[in-house]
Structure 1
Amino acid sequence: MKFRFILSSLLVLPMFVSAQSKTSEGTSVAQPRKMTDMDSLMVNQIFYSAMEAKVTDNYGPAAEMFNRVLQIEPTNDAALYQLAQLKIQKQDYASAQGMLENAVAVKPDNKWYWLTLVDCYEKTSSVIKLEHALNQLIRLEPNNTDYRFDLAKVLYFDQKYDESLAVYDQLIQMKGGLDDDILAGRQKIFLKQGKVDQATAEVQQMITANPTEVRYYLLLAELYNSNNLNDKALKTLQAAEKINPKNPQLHLALADVYRDQKKYEDFFNQVELAFASPDLDIEQELKIISGYIPKFPDPNAKASALELSRAISVSHPDDYRAWAMYGDMLFQNEKYPDAEVAYRKSIAIDGQHYEVYDQLVRLEVSNNEADAAIKDGGTALSLYPNQAWMNYLVGVAYSQKKVYDKAISYMKTATEMAPDDKDLLSLTYSSLGDCYHEIKDNPNSDSAYDKSLSYNPDNAFSLNNYAYYLSLRGEQLDKAAQMAAHANELQPNMASFEDTYAWILFKQKKYADAKVWIEKAILHDKTNSVTETEHYGDIMFYLGDTDAAVASWKKAKAHGEQSPILDRKINERKYIE
């Protein structure tokens, strides 16, 4: 390319260090060098080639040539500016800043140099220099209000509040009065200075000039409320309510005042009025509802969140987020069928959000709605095939239908997709243990339970089920007893766990201990389990109370247990293995 030839020809030129002086701020500024006609021609040629290199993204050669220009002409402001731009591309703002300071020393009336320098000063937090640069831009364009706004903000940041106010005064004169931007800037200053009266007076001035603009009433009320002037805030908002009673932000502001006054019924009524408006942004509504969640399981918080979520499903019926939140709050309030309906409406509006499918399928699995879980889970996996949890949930649904080959397939996929999720791995291997037991694959069942407990030694269901299945086979009874005991420590008063432990003790011929635990199971059981009733009879037989044993076996039969072995126990009045 052309610039390469020119660059190589320049390497024979002598190197030198230009003379420099310093500005009042301590910046080194290059001094002019007397240029010959040949020097000027060479500078123009090199600069042109450097620009050609830059626009073709050959930044390295471009930088070398711009530097060469500066060796010949240290005060070449264009080369300084272009080289600074290359430094900025590399986020080397400090180096760029020095070059730009040299450029404006040569051409102090170049607006673009100052604008780029302002950007560098912002990046390097050089506040004092930033003030100077903005003042120079104001000097160049005195009617540009943007520069004055920026200067006022910088002075505020530097805690030069009176100077910042003076700049805002200039803006008021230029704009012919207060506007929202000037008002907001001055409000910050007055509040920093503790001048609440001046802050409220200026907002009142805007209300007088714009009596139907509710936003100024809201601003004034916020000022009053944040400074513990609740009565004045309430009076201001009530005046605004007469102007626009349907304004949702007005009702939220009233709610804030009532909350601070501990008038919680009035607070909630105002929030409801705000939520009833379709003009209230749903993001704001969702944020408000989410604020209740840390207060769960307080029933009042749950009820309030539920009612508000219902309101947004009415005011935003076509937004999937409204129905998803309503579903979540219905679930929290244990209204599971209604929660399913809400989730389905959310998916019908926009079926591209995995988290909604996840909630729906979890609910279906927990309600033993296996067919629905398989259908909805399949839809979710068609959209998000790499979701390990969804594979697990669909696997559980298939296990509920006793389709164990598919259940095992989905669960294995889940373990492969989430090798680092210990909670999921423990749950999945536990379910795999159950599935393998059902198909009488005891080695794989035991292996799966061992893996489950390796990821979570406190998985109570793995401990209980593994222990029970070992006891049914009469294998490793000491290990089974330890696991069952630990499961009961983790989740005391759970009837099925207590029954497991009782049965293992029975298998170990520790009949007195077994009686204690089976009685606990019967006490805590709310379902009149025929298994526990039959086990109680088995234990009583070996404790020598045959009449109690037979009575218990008969009770199990009366409650629905039908088996030839149970009939033999009753007829022969003895325990049958």
Structure 2
Amino acid sequence: MRQVALYVCVLLLLASASQGQGIGRGGAADSAVARKPVKLSRKERRELARSASQVSVAPKVAALSPKEREMGEALFVDGVKYVILEDYPKALERLLKAYTLMPDNPAVNYKLAEANLLSGNLRDATGYAESAVRLDGKNPYYYLLLAQAQASQKQYEAATTTYASLVREVPNSGNYLFQLADLYLAQNKLPEALATLDKAQQQFGAMDEISFKKQQIYLRQNNLPLALKEGENLIAANPTEPRYVLAQAEMYAANNRLPDAIRVAQQALRLDPDNPQARLILADVYRQQNQPAEVEKELRLAFQNPSLDIDQEVRIIVGYLKQLPDEKYNALTLDLAAAAVRSHPKEAKAYSIAGDVQTLTGKKREARDTYLRALKYDNSKYQLWQQVVVLDAELNQTDSLLVHSDRALELFPNQAPLWFYNGVGHLLKKQPQRAVQALEHGRKLALANTELLGQFDAQLGDAYQELKDYTKSDAAYDAALANDPNNYGVLNNYSYYLSLRNEKLDKAKEMSGRTVKQFPDNDTYLDTYAWVLYKQKDYAGARQNLERALKTTKDASILEHYGDVLWQLGDHPGAVAAWQRARKAGPGTSPLLDRKIKEQKLYE
């Protein structure tokens, strides 16, 4: 029954179209607009092109016999069916045959245009649509299909001409003036767009859409007075609508009419006392007037409103991030970030930006925890994971560093920095073998980043030293220094470990000496240099550098080293006293310290 109904319906449409009434009123063109074009294969295109070339020269049929008319109508119905089923090759085959019988039927031309448009054959779609318009110049859908085919080929002038013809030729088609105005705007034909909107206004009276579009045109023409006048018209027509008042205030602010901007923004607040956009406009105006206290006040009031969009809040806070850390802005930025979190408690962006603010203002522990809350709502952001593990490392929270880097690596196994921090965590946990595994794997991922590669080599030097694989340790240190000869951390560690092994002491002295020269007050570097000198039996030089170090530290290991040096210099009571102070100072001493104190004798 459905097929019979469709057949009867299409026959009625065909008959009305052949009499100049058109077909598809009420949505036939809309179907072409809504459906996505389907590209035909090259073979299908060749076959259809051959058929089209044959029908293009077909003579006009003066009169059809009843049998021919019935055949043409059946082919047309079949073609329409296949268009609905989106089988465009079959649809075009049937419609082209119908066209050979009824080339002057606008409905047939229209359906051919639609089928070609939907199958991606834009040139033929344009040709058949032009024929449909020529055969029935009163059907708006024929113009719309033609304009769509032209616009799809970026023939905007032609599409504009088609819309202009539609408005001119088809009765009661004034509603298409708005699309025509948009086409003029797209081509930057501002006078034509204004003239078209004036026609729409004459036909439909004052409308918000018309005033708004005219206002945008006046702004593009740098005609501020007329743009403001249209804004006043919008406000007058919508006295209880804050958005038009706000748009007017923004226009005043953007054009340095600051008192007017304040006046109109306050007008919006009388309509909606909690409106955050009005507060932001006022904050911007006060910023231009260099009134920081008023800026703060308005921003805080705006951020108190949960309706303020999170993206807008983030943009404002990002503006302050560039100023941090700065005592003038720290408190305000922290408060705004906290307000964003309160207003959007399940929004990862709020926690992320708050973590950034806390990081830059030195609140590292709070920042790490805030980033973790962001990851609770969105764990897909690698940058957040990286921030977390970096802060774990800076806070010396080794267990957290390993937990978080392991979780991050499950999501981002190809990110070299995560492997680096995972390796550092294992190294800090005295798990050098696992550290080497993580660091060697990450190093392979960092080959294109020389700076990061140097950091991997530095940590691998430490890890292999712990494993007593001194050949690999030295090679890693040498690679790190080849990448950055002034890596003072590597210079210090490398020279210290060489001194412990009593190997390459001249090289150790040169590296440690460079480090101390650059950082003459660093107690750790002074201790290393002193210990290299000690190993070279330069006890006086060692004593001098250790006494410099002890001016700034009471580190247990440095005190123990000082005692060893004093013993070698013959000051045995001074040595024992230094060892005793080392035991009281805390951990970091050698396992031999208690024996040295008990027996009052140097053991190495």
Q: Which residue in 2 is equivalent to 1:260?
A: 288
The verdict on how the C-alpha distance between 1:97 and 1:349 changes in structure 2, with shifts beyond 3 A counting, is: closer
From 167, 178, 200, the counterpart of 1:138: 167
CA distance 1:8–1:402, change in 2 (3 Å): closer
1:464 corresponds to 2:492: yes
What corresponds to 2:422 in structure 1? Answer: 394
* Counterpart among 180, 191, 195 of residue 219 in structure 2: 191
Gaps of at least 5 residues in structure 1 are 19-29
The higher-RCO structure (CA 8 Å, 6+ apart) is 2
- Between 556-565 and 134-143, the greater mean CA deviation after superposition: 556-565
**Which of 361, 367, 371 is the equivalent residue of 1:339?**
367
Cα distance in structure 1, aligned partners of 2:112 and 2:173: 28
Q: Tell me which residue corresponds to 1:320.
A: 348
1:374 is displaced (CA, Å) by 2.9
Partner residue in 2 for 1:165:
194
Matched, 1:358 2:381: no
Structure 1 stretch displaced more, 128-137 or 106-115? 106-115
Amino acid paired to 2:162: A
- Please say if residues 303 and 333 of structure 1, whose CA atoms lie closer than 8 Å, have aligned partners that are also in contact: no
Distance 1:453 1:493 in 2: 23
Pairing 1:428–2:490 present: no
Partner secondary structure for residue 152 of structure 1? helix
* Cα distance change, pair 576–63 in 1 and its aligned pair in 2 (3 A): farther
Is 1:443 paired with 2:468? Answer: no
What is the CA–CA distance in structure 2 between the aligned matches of 1:488 and 1:107, rounded to whole Å? 95
Q: Distance in 2 between matches of 1:508 and 1:100?
A: 98
The answer as to whether partners of 1:467 and 1:480 remain within 8 angstroms in 2 is yes
1:298 aligns to what SS in structure 2?
coil
- SS class of match (1:246): coil
What secondary structure sits across from 1:295 in the alignment?
Answer: coil
Report how far residue 280 of structure 1 moved. Answer: 0.6
The residue number in structure 1 matching 2:177 is 148
Tell me, in whole angstroms, the C-alpha distance in 2 between the residues paired with 1:274 and 1:230: 19
Contact 2:240 2:271 in 1 (8 A): yes
CA drift at 1:473: 1.7
Q: CA deviation at 1:263?
A: 0.7
Q: Once the 2 structures are TM-superposed, how far is the Cα of residue 443 of structure 1 from its aligned partner? A: 2.5
Amino acid at match of 2:279: H
Q: For residue 529 of structure 1, what is the aligned residue in structure 2?
A: 555
Given candidates 214, 219, 228, the residue that maps to 1:200 is 228
Taking structure 1 as reference, are residues 468 and 35 closer, same or farther at Cα in structure 2, changes over 3 Å only? farther
When structure 1 is superposed on structure 2, of 479-488 and 267-276 the one drifting more is 479-488
Pair 1:406 & 2:434 matched? yes
Distance, in Å, in 1 between the alignment partners of 2:180 and 2:472 is 74
Tell me if the contact between 1:499 and 1:517 (Cα under 8 Å) persists in the aligned partners. Answer: yes
Superposed CA deviations along residues 476-500 of structure 1, whole A, max 9, x for unmatched, are 3454455546666887865434543
Q: Distance in 2 between matches of 1:461 and 1:164?
A: 68
Q: Which among 377, 394, 399 is matched to residue 371 of structure 1?
A: 399
C-alpha contact 1:377 1:393 (8 A) present in aligned 2: yes
CA distance in 1 between counterparts of 2:533 and 2:94 reads 90
Separation of aligned partners in 1, 2:316 and 2:281: 13
Aligned counterparts, 1:89-238, within 5 A = 95=123, 99=127, 103=131, 106-107=134-135, 109=137, 111=140, 114-119=143-148, 121-122=150-151, 125-139=154-168, 143=172, 147-179=176-208, 181-238=209-266
Partners of 1:56 and 1:559 in 2: how far apart? 85
Q: Residues 338 and 218 of structure 1: is their aligned pair in 2 closer, same or farther, counting only changes over 3 Å?
A: same
Counterpart for residue 21 of structure 1: none
Q: Is the 8 A contact 1:397 1:407 kept in 2?
A: yes
| 1: CA distance, partners of 2:155 / 2:48 | 40
Give the aligned residue type for 2:205: G
Aligned length: 551
Given the two structures, how large is their TM-score scaled by the length of structure 2?
A: 0.73
Q: What is the CA-CA distance between 1:442 and the residue it aligns to?
A: 1.8
Counterpart contact for 2:48–2:93, Cα < 8 Å: no
2:403 maps to amino acid: K
Alpha-carbon distance between aligned partners in 2 of 1:498 and 1:57, rounded to the nearest angstrom: 84
Q: CA deviation at 1:557?
A: 5.5
Asked if 1:294 corresponds to 2:322, the answer is yes
Q: Deviations 1:443-488 (Å, cap 9, x if unpaired)? A: 3323433454566555443343233222322333454455546666
Q: What code does the residue aligned with 1:152 have?
A: A
Q: Give % identity.
A: 33
Contact 1:468 1:480 in 2 (8 A): yes
Partner AA of 1:323 in structure 2 = Y
Give the CA deviation at 1:168: 1.7
Structure 1 residues 195 and 354 mapped into 2: Cα distance closer, same or farther (>3 Å)? Answer: closer
Cα 1:87–1:280 shift into 2, 3 Å: same
1:229 Cα deviation from its structure 2 partner = 0.9
Residues 356-412 of structure 1 show CA distances to partners (whole Å, capped at 9, x for unaligned) of 443333322322222233334444444555554334333322322223333333334
Report the residue type matching 2:313 in the other structure.
Answer: E
Between the aligned partners of 2:239 and 2:434, the Cα distance in structure 1 is: 70
1:284 paired with 2:316, answer no
Could you tell which deviates more after superposition, 272-281 or 135-144?
A: 135-144
Give 1:316's aligned amino acid: H
Shift in CA distance, 111/529, structure 1 to aligned 2, threshold 3 Å: farther
**In 2 relative to 1, CA 211–447 (structure 1 residues): closer, same or farther, beyond 3 Å?**
same
Q: TM-score, length-normalised on structure 1?
A: 0.76
Shift in Å, 1:113:
5.4
Which of 252, 274, 289 aligns to 2:302? It is 274
- Identify if the C-alpha distance between structure 1 residues 284 and 564 changes in structure 2 by more than 3 Å, giving closer, same or farther: closer
Q: 1:141 to 1:547 in 2, by over 3 A?
A: farther
Deviates more, 1:370-379 or 1:246-255: 370-379
Give the SS at the match of 1:292.
helix
| 1:10-21 aligned within 5 A | none
Residue 197 of structure 1 and its aligned partner are, at CA, apart by 2.2
Range with greater deviation from structure 2 (385-394 or 259-268): 385-394
Gaps of 5+ in 2: 1-42
Could you give the per-residue CA deviations for residues 162-198 of structure 1, whole angstroms, max 9, x where no partner exists?
332222223334443231x323211122223333222
> 1: distance between equivalents of 2:358 and 2:484?
31
8 A contact 2:280–2:299 mirrored in 1: yes
Separation in structure 2 between the aligned mates of residue 277 and residue 255 of structure 1, nearest angstrom: 15
Q: Would the alpha carbon gap of residues 264 and 142 (structure 1) be closer, same or farther in structure 2, given more than 3 Å must change? A: farther
Q: Are positions 1:306 and 2:353 aligned together?
A: no
Cα distance in 1 for partners of 2:187, 2:48 equals 51
Distance 1:452 1:98, change over 3 A: farther
Measure the CA separation in 2 of the matches of 1:551 and 1:424: 45
Q: Deviations over 1:231-280 (max 9, x none)?
A: 11111112222222211111111111111111112112111111111111
